[in-house]
């Protein structure tokens, strides 16, 4: 069984934000919510680095550990998903996540949080695959269609890789050998246990 992982190659990311746009468009993500965003380190300084960040679908997901209503589950290939019908919008997962992945739409006055929204690795949620209900709640289910996350498929420089962790690691390893230097698999030590 494959183990799905994201990897952003900071040497290749050019901060074009196409991944962010592709994600928002594909899933009709509501205003105020960004399932994916590009973070720039040392912005404006020569040698700045950009990293595309979303839910990393952690091996031992801290969001799932702190959820008081146990609405998180992990698929066999390691994708961390949640049930929006159970979510109470408490915000614990937001504080637990090292990547700031869980987001909350501001649906009403007085700062009341809506249901938590996060990257699904384009795998939808616990409703019938590719149904209208699934699309409305979680976005498109590309995995069920035999496709990979659109953010990675769209990436023009192939900085963002998504798929079977072994295949992703192979590609990245070849790049590091070709360009020299040390591998910097940003976030992998935090998200994935070896």
Cα 155 to Cα 100, 180, 194, distances in angstroms = 22, 23, 26
Instruction: Give the chain's end-to-end CA distance (angstroms, integer).
Output: 16
What is the largest distance, in Å, between two alpha-carbon atoms of the chain?
54
* Residue 86 makes contact with another protein by CB under 8 A: yes
- Residue 75 binds another protein (CB under 8 A): yes
Each residue 22-61 as x (binds another protein by CB under 8 A) or -, in order, gives ---------------------------------------x
Q: Is 14 in the site for another protein (CB under 8 A)?
A: no
Q: Is 146 in the site for another protein (CB under 8 A)?
A: yes
Q: Which residue has the tokens 């962010």?
A: 20
The answer to whether 111 contacts another protein (rule: CB under 8 A) is no
Q: By three-state DSSP, how is residue 106 classified?
A: strand
Contacts of 103 (CB under 8 A, 6+ apart): 32, 33, 34, 35, 94, 116, 117, 118
Can residue 173 be called a binding residue for another protein (CB under 8 A)?
A: no
Residue 141 interacting with another protein (CB under 8 A): yes
d(CA 191, CA 194) in angstroms, rounded, equals 10
Cβ nearer to another protein, comparing 72 with 192: 72
3-state secondary structure of 163: strand
Q: Is 163 in the site for another protein (CB under 8 A)?
A: yes
Q: Is 76 in the site for another protein (CB under 8 A)?
A: yes
3-state class (DSSP) for residue 49: strand
Specify the residue, 40 or 65, whose C-beta has the smaller distance to another protein. 65
24 versus 134: smaller Cβ distance to another protein: 134
Binding region for another protein (CB under 8 A): 1-2, 61, 64-67, 69-73, 75-77, 81-83, 85-86, 123-129, 141, 143-144, 146-148, 152-153, 158, 161-164, 167-168, 171, 174-175
């Amino acid at each position: 069984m494959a183990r799905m992982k994201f990897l952003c190659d900071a040497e290749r990311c050019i901060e074009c934000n196409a991944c962010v746009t592709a994600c928002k468009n594909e899933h009709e993500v509501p205003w105020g919510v960004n399932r994916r965003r590009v973070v720039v380190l040392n912005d404006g300084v020569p040698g700045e680095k950009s990293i595309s960040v979303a839910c990393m679908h952690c091996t031992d997901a801290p969001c799932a550990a702190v959820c008081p209503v146990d609405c998180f589950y992990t698929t066999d290939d390691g994708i961390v998903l949640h049930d929006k019908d159970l979510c109470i919008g408490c915000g614990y997962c937001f504080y637990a996540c090292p990547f700031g992945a869980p987001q909350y739409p501001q649906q009403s006055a007085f700062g009341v949080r809506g249901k938590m929204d996060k990257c699904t690795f384009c795998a939808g949620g616990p409703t019938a695959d590719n149904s209208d209900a699934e699309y409305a709640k979680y976005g498109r289910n590309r995995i069920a269609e035999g496709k990979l996350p659109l953010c990675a498929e769209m990436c023009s420089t192939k900085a963002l890789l998504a798929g079977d962790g072994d295949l992703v690691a192979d590609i990245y390893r070849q790049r590091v050998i070709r360009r020299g230097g040390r591998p910097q698999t940003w976030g992998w030590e935090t998200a994935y246990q070896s």
